[in-house]
């Protein structure tokens, strides 16, 4: 890795801090498969909608997930293909023996 400006290193470190939480990683992994509502995420992970919303807020602030509104419903998905690639590579690395 070449010489990176400190601000870039800080941004990457913060990205990995956000992803270091097991619940947030599970949420991101779910969203890598399809767009979901808070309630669906909560039910799948056996969490409260409030807890999921808290984690989604942190993930949105880190620009890892985005949301779209359809009437009263809000759907969450990964922010872009880079997030999917990061998660995919992380799981591949973890399963590599």
Q: Which fold has domain 6-95?
A: Arc Repressor Mutant, subunit A (1.10.10)
Domain ranges, ordered by start, for the chain: 6-95
Model's pTM, two decimal places? 0.88
Q: Are 59 and 24 in contact (CB under 8 A)?
A: yes
pLDDT of the chain along its 97 residues, tens only?
Answer: 556 676 689 888 999 999 999 999 999 999 999 999 999 999 999 999 999 999 999 999 999 999 999 999 999 999 999 999 999 999 899 998 6
Torsion, Cα of 63, 53, 37, 46 (10° steps): 120
Which of 4, 92, 19 has its CA nearest to residue 61?
19
DSSP classification of residue 32: H
């Amino acid at each position: 890795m070449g010489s990176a400006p400190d601000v870039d290193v800080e941004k990457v470190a913060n990205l990995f801090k956000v992803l270091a939480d097991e619940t947030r990683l599970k949420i991101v992994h779910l969203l890598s498969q399809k767009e979901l509502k808070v309630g669906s995420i909560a039910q799948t992970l056996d969490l409260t909608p409030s807890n999921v919303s808290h984690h989604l807020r942190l993930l949105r602030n880190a620009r890892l997930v985005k949301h779209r509104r359809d009437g009263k419903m809000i759907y969450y998905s990964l922010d872009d293909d880079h997030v999917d690639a990061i998660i995919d590579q992380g799981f591949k690395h973890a399963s590599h023996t």
